[in-house]
Structure 1
Amino acid sequence: MSVESHVLEIESKFDVAVDTPLPDLAGLPHVSAVGVSREINLEASYYDSPGLDLVALGITLRRRRGGDDAGWHLKLPGDSGRHELRVPLGDDERVPRCFEDLLSGTTRRAALERVGTIRTRRTVIPLVDAAGRVVAEVCDDRVVGERWHDGRGTRLVWREWEIELVRQDRELAHAAAARLRSAGATPATYASKLAHVLDVLPDRSALGQGRSRPSVRDVLAPYLGAQVRRLRQLDPQVRADLPDAVHQMRVTCRRIRAALACYRRDFDRRAAREIRKELGWLVDVLGRERDLEVLRDHLGALVARHEAPDAAQEGWIDESLSEDLDAARGAARVALDSERYDALVLALAAAGWPPWSSRAERHARGELRRGLRAEWERLQAAATAAEHAPAGRRDEALHEVRKVAKRLRYAAEAAEPCLGDRARDLADAMSALQDSLGLHHDEAVARAAVARLGQEWPRAAGVSRIIGELEDQQAVESAIYREGWWQVRHSTSARWLV
């Protein structure tokens, strides 16, 4: 059985007393009318590992009966909402094999068992725009939940309101939330109904929160904990081939590596170096697939502009790269199923991680600034080397500048809770450099690929014109980088590090 659909769920939940009347929802932004309400009864069984790995990461696996979306639902947290994957009910209560496979890395292949049952009497109020389209639904839920443990259930009863948007609309979301809060609702204490049943509260702790002189550990521990959590949340999304999941997992790995590298004196060097090496391996094995996809899309657009329509040559870029893409996807999936990956996740999730040194107890402001200053000096050295690099090595030298700028950006982001606007401005400046150099690198890779593929496809038209356009684009990006680098060196973004 395979996943049949994927939905991005954009919702907000609120706690409310059982006798609170629902407010009038008319007059909200982009809402022309409040539709006729309807009542439905829902029943869902929830599944997790014995250690409750899924709910701890904000992941929900349920089997729902009733309503318009009966079936198996797997909900995965994303940046702008929750991804919901769906599979039909089937004849029994066994978790679908496709969901077991997607969650194997998250649960470390532990058996999935029923941990709770929730019955909901839901009143759905549709909000409609001027064209008669439903733009959001407000749900008034009266809930009875049971937590299952050793074959016995513990019963809870509560009420909650929920706003579910059809598409991203910040103005409507904020106004609707304000309307519900004015009627007495409060933001939900629990991330989901299942978390309520299992009494799993979101982790909002931060070491040293409120201290006037926080230590390095106070600042970096919550940051690194959030990145490890994000890495584990992305695992099933990568396995499910959800949009941008591979890219986000690589970025998360790089953020952890940047903190461990930039502030290396605050960690046990040997243990941190081993984690950095393993995260680098994961970035590389995932990167091959993404790099090829970016290259295919980039070249496909260029070829379409430069070649005359020819059915015999149509799709030669796809055909040329398809074998490499299939191999890269296969290698990435093998890596996620490997003992090496399991060991990495276990090390990151261990109670004693990250491995601090005694310096981590020092005052954060001076120690973090010292680490950022060392990275800034590395960036200056890399930029100078690129300026004096021979023509044949210049692309490689600029790519090195990009890598150092990226690491400095992520390290600055980690320091923001302590260093504030200074760190934020530095991160923004590095992001701009990274963008221009990233485009420059993409053009260099594309130019080499076109030259190679043009030899393999001698009938392909426009190869020389495509290479010429890529060289012109590289020259533009190089000029943008030079201007951006001059501005960074002479601005307040990094002057405080000198």
Structure 2
Amino acid sequence: MAHKRETERKYEAPSARDSSWLPDLSGVGGVESVLDQGTDELDAVYYDTDDLRIARASATLRRRTGGADAGWHLKLPLSGDSREEVQAPLSDTLPDTLRELVLSRTRGADVRPVVRVRSTRRTRHLVGPEGDVLAELSVDAVRADPLPSGDTSASWTEMEIELAEDSDPALLDTLDKTLRANSIARADHPSKLARALEETGAGTQPGPDTSARTDEPGSAGEEILRYLDEQVSALVELDPSVRRDLPDAVHKMRVTCRRLRSVLRSYRPVLAREVTDPIRAELKWLGAELGAERDQEVLRERLGSHIRTSPTELVLGPVEARLRVWDVARTADARQRTLDALRSPRYLALLDSVATLVQRPPLRRRADRAPEKVMAKAILKEYERLAARVAHAMEVPPGMERDTALHQARKAAKRTRYATEPARSALGKPAKRFGKRVKAVQKVLGEHQDSVVARDALHQLAVAAQTAGEAGFTWGLLYGQERALAEQRERELPAVWAEASKSGTRKALAH
């Protein structure tokens, strides 16, 4: 399975046969010459669910013949003009790998052909002074037909410019100026599929039922639902990256689960808890399944960094080898745990639940109220819980009980910080400033908890080394370093907490 980043812009084109409308782009933005690459016949069948869940989530899935990259293509949204294209070899049926990558969007619903798009493509390479291809310009004469059959076909001509992988994105802006100066306008539709669905009528199937969205404009309900929409979309969009084990994907998905859980808890006066509490429980389950892999990532990097930065004379025995063996076994188990969770019916049920939550939210009476008071009250309530936990933790004598108390305070700090996020547009700078100060508390407590977890792992490694007859000196040394780091964070906490708990900050939120 191959993948690439695709950065392109689409334009309306008056004709595919006559290219006299196309300006000479030689000398524009470093383009030295324009080389004709001939014509290809492309035939693409796009797949989706009956209610077009893939397209509505800004992705496309197609099987295409013709051209240099015939096969199955899944296009996933990135920022700006970019998308990621995941490719699989041509086959008669949808490959299981791509079926899994769209699962967060389909939520297990069957996919079928929805539209056929045939294109006669004339391609030109925009070549730089050293003979390297900077971009590809193609003009397509397009015909679209709904599937399995339909009376309405559509046809149009379009042009797209796709950057070469290593080209400067600024080239698109430079070319765009020249094209606009020659009356060539940007296309109204982001993709061929979007236009085909609209113009053939294949996109008129009923979408998600949002008839129960009774949130009033400018209300607390509207602000919270906007935030929930963003987080649910993030959960869906991160799924393919987690399945492919892309960097930081597991961490981001786990944080998204936490954000959703926290906001559903903090804003219970706005959303009925008899609906949201079961969803929170399932988000907690998913976060825990993802947590095994994420925690191992953090431990691996932390312990490996300690060993790499230790003086050579203090690293006694096969320390690095033992760490690798320990990590490989735990990483494999944690990775499988993640994949098992994402392939489970329980996960699909959770995706259905959060989709229903934002489409038909269980709004309570306070949802219609002005957001300032409702949201400030929710934030301050979370702050009170945080303050109680911090005070308790600082009173507990050093040891395991204090470690546990500090960990509970850390979780309360996260909930408080996440409660500020949907309130930033309504409360402005006070919410942002307060969230930033609570984040500083969370950071100190998080580094303390990371040390607690690292010490537990170091103890396990020391015992295993001793059992194997290896020197335990280095493991003990690292354990002592971690204890010292934890004690340092405990000394930092009072000052950081004093800054976060300033009465002026809280008063600004309330007013």
Q: Number of residues paired by the alignment?
A: 484
Per the TM alignment, residue 411 of structure 1 is displaced from its structure 2 partner at its CA by: 2.2
Residue identity opposite 1:345 in structure 2: L
Equivalence map 1:237-386=2 (5 Å): 237-306=241-310, 314-350=320-356, 353-386=360-393
- Residues 362, 450 of structure 1: alpha-carbon distance in 2 compared, 3 angstrom cutoff: same
Contact map agreement 2:114 2:148 (CA 8 A) in 1: no
Whether the 8 Å contact between 2:242 and 2:249 is mirrored in structure 1 is yes
Q: Percent identity?
A: 32
Name 1:93's counterpart in structure 2: 92
Equivalence for 1:193: 192
Distance 1:477 1:125 in 2: 58
- Contact 1:106–1:235 (CA<8 Å) still a contact in 2? no
Task: Output one character per residue of 1:43-75: Cα deviation in whole Å (capped at 9) or x when no partner.
Answer: 433222232221111222222334443332222
Cα offset for 1:455? 1.0
Question: Paired residue for 1:235?
Answer: 239
For 2:303 and 2:346, the matched residues in 1 are separated by: 34
Mapping of 1:127-138 within 5 angstroms?
A: 128=128, 137=135
Q: Which amino acid aligns with 1:255?
A: R
Given residue 488 of structure 1, which amino acid in structure 2 is its aligned partner? A
CA shift, 1:425, in A, is: 2.9
| Matched AA of 1:261 | R
Please report the TM-score for the alignment, with normalisation by the length of structure 2. 0.82
Residue number in structure 1 paired with 2:155: 156
Distance 1:471 1:113, change over 3 A: same
**In the alignment, is residue 13 of structure 1 matched against residue 12 of structure 2?**
no
Indicate the larger mover: 34-43 or 338-347: 34-43
> Does residue 405 of structure 2 align to residue 408 of structure 1?
no
Post-superposition shift, 1:168?
A: 9.2
How many angstroms apart in 2 are the aligned matches of 1:481 and 1:34?
Answer: 62
Matched position secondary structure for 1:450? helix
Contact 1:58 1:191 in 2 (8 A): no
Deviations 1:306-338 (A, max 9, x none): 366889554311211333332222222222232
Mapped partners of 1:439, 1:169: distance in 2: 39
1:72 aligns with 2:80: no
Deviation digits for residues 182-218 of structure 1 (CA, Å, limit 9, x no counterpart): 5556665433321222136999x9x89995xx11122
CA distance in 2, matches of 1:251, 1:422: 23
- Provide the C-alpha distance between the structure 2 equivalents of 1:25 and 1:477, rounded to a whole number of angstroms: 60
Q: 1:445 to 1:185 in 2, by over 3 A?
A: farther
Deviation at 1:366, TM superposition (A): 1.5
**Mapped contact 1:125–1:138 kept (Cα < 8 A):** yes
Taking a change above 3 Å as real, the CA distance of residues 336 and 133 of structure 1, as seen in their structure-2 partners, is: same
CA deviation string 1:403-425 (max 9, x = no partner): 22222222222122322333333
Q: What is the distance in 2 between the residues matched to 1:210 and 1:166?
A: 45
108-117 or 302-311, which deviates more: 302-311
- Asked if the contact 2:143–2:155 (Cα under 8 Å) also holds between the matched residues in 1, the reply is yes
Alignment of 1:53-72 (within 5 A): 53-72=53-72
One-letter code aligned to 1:6: H
- Report the secondary structure of 1:251's partner residue: helix
- Residues 165, 173 of structure 1: 8 Å contact kept: no
In the alignment, structure 1 residue 82 sits paired with structure 2 residue 83: yes
CA contact (8 A) 1:488 1:494 kept: no
Alpha-carbon offset, residue 291 of structure 1: 0.8
Describe the superposition over 1:78-121 as per-residue Cα deviations: whole angstroms up to 9, x where unpaired: 468533322222xx432112222333453233333222233252
Alignment of 1:444 onto 2:455: no
Q: 1:406 to 1:180 in 2, by over 3 A?
A: farther
Structure 1 Cα separation of the partners of residues 343 and 297 of structure 2: 22
Structure 1 position 453 matched with structure 2 position 471: no
1:140, CA displacement in angstroms?
4.0
Kept after mapping to 2: 8 A contact 1:443/1:474: yes
Q: Distance in 2 between matches of 1:342 and 1:281?
A: 13
Larger radius of gyration: 2
2:236 is paired with a residue whose SS is helix
- TM-aligned CA deviation for residue 265 of structure 1: 0.5
Q: Would the aligned equivalents of 2:72 and 2:87 in 1 still touch at CA under 8 Å?
A: yes
- Classify the secondary structure of the residue corresponding to 1:430: helix
What's the CA shift string for 1:245-289, capped at 9, x where partnerless? 222222222222222111111111211111111111111111111
Change over 3 Å in CA distance of 1:242–1:478 after alignment to 2 = same
Question: Residue 307 of structure 2 contacts residue 320 of structure 2 at CA under 8 Å; is this kept in 1?
Answer: no
Distance 1:39 1:223 in 2: 48
Question: Which residue does 1:139 correspond to in 2?
Answer: 137
Indicate how the Cα distance of structure 1 residues 124 and 486 shifts in structure 2: closer, same or farther if over 3 A, else same: farther
- Calculate the aligned-residue CA RMSD, in Å: 3.5
**Unaligned stretches of 5+ residues in structure 1:** none
Match of 1:471 in 2: 483
Matched, 1:417 2:437: no
> Structure 1 residues 327, 121: closer, same or farther in 2, change over 3 A?
same
Structure 2 counterpart of 1:338, one-letter code: S
1:489 partnered with 2:486: no
Counterparts of 2:443 and 2:187 in 1: how far apart (Å)?
38
Aligned-residue offset at 1:477: 4.3
Q: Distance in 2 between matches of 1:354 and 1:271?
A: 9
Secondary structure at the counterpart of residue 264 of structure 1: coil
> Is 113-122 or 222-231 further displaced after alignment?
113-122
User: Are the aligned partners of 1:163 and 1:176 in contact in 2 as well (CA < 8 Å)?
Assistant: no
Q: 1:52 to 1:376 in 2, by over 3 A?
A: same
Q: TM-score, normalised by structure 1?
A: 0.84
Change (3 A) 1:266 1:487: same
Check if 1:391 corresponds to 2:403. Answer: no
d(CA) in 2 for partners of 1:466, 1:21: 67
- CA displacement at 1:360 relative to structure 2: 0.7
Structure 2: gaps spanning 5 or more residues? 16-20
Tell me what 2:121 maps to.
121
1:167-186 equivalent positions in 2, closer than 5 A? 184=183
Structure 1 counterpart of 2:428, one-letter code: G
